[in-house]
Amino acid sequence: MTWTRAFVVLVVLAAALFPSDARAQAPSCTISSTSVSFGNYNVFSGSALDSTGTITYRCNATAANITIFLSKGTSGTYAQRVMTKGAELLGYNLYRNAARTTIWGDGTAGTGVYSRANPPNNSNVNVTIFGRVPAGQDVSAGAFSDTIAATINF
């Protein structure tokens, strides 16, 4: 039986746009994440392997609207992200919903983003990332990984 360890590392970024004379009243947000760790992938299983991760953000009172985007990662496409082990690829994707029907991306090519108007003031907000590795992929045993950038705009 072949078992493969698979995980996605999330790198987080924050961006704010405001005029230079508004810095004293500028909105601020922090963002952090936990990786999506799929654990062992069994190449002989007929079922997809699902997992979750979390993005946590916290904004001050002046952050009126926020949006969180996820990058494409190694694959360069949202259609199917890939984890790598050397030259070997293991397909997966990250989703906005538990049904895993809306790919979490940057809002292009049919992908969704997380957005919220008027986030709570100075309170942590946890957002779940839903991940899935489809069944039926023939890969060798070992650790596969990918790095995804999570960006919050406020």
Query: How do residues 39-74 score in pLDDT, each as one tens digit?
Result: 999 999 999 999 999 999 999 877 778 999 999 999
For the chain, list the domains and their CATH numbers.
3-16+28-153 (2.60.40.1090)
Query: How do residues 83-139 score in pLDDT, each as one tens digit?
Result: 999 999 999 999 999 999 999 999 999 999 999 998 998 999 999 999 999 999 999
Q: What is the pLDDT of residue 6?
A: 61
| Per-position b or e across 122-135, b if 16+ CB within 10 A of its CB | eeebebebbbbbee
Q: What is the DSSP letter of 105?
A: S
Query: How do residues 13-41 score in pLDDT, each as one tens digit?
Result: 544 444 444 445 577 899 999 999 999 99
* Sign of torsion over alpha carbons 121, 68, 146, 135: positive
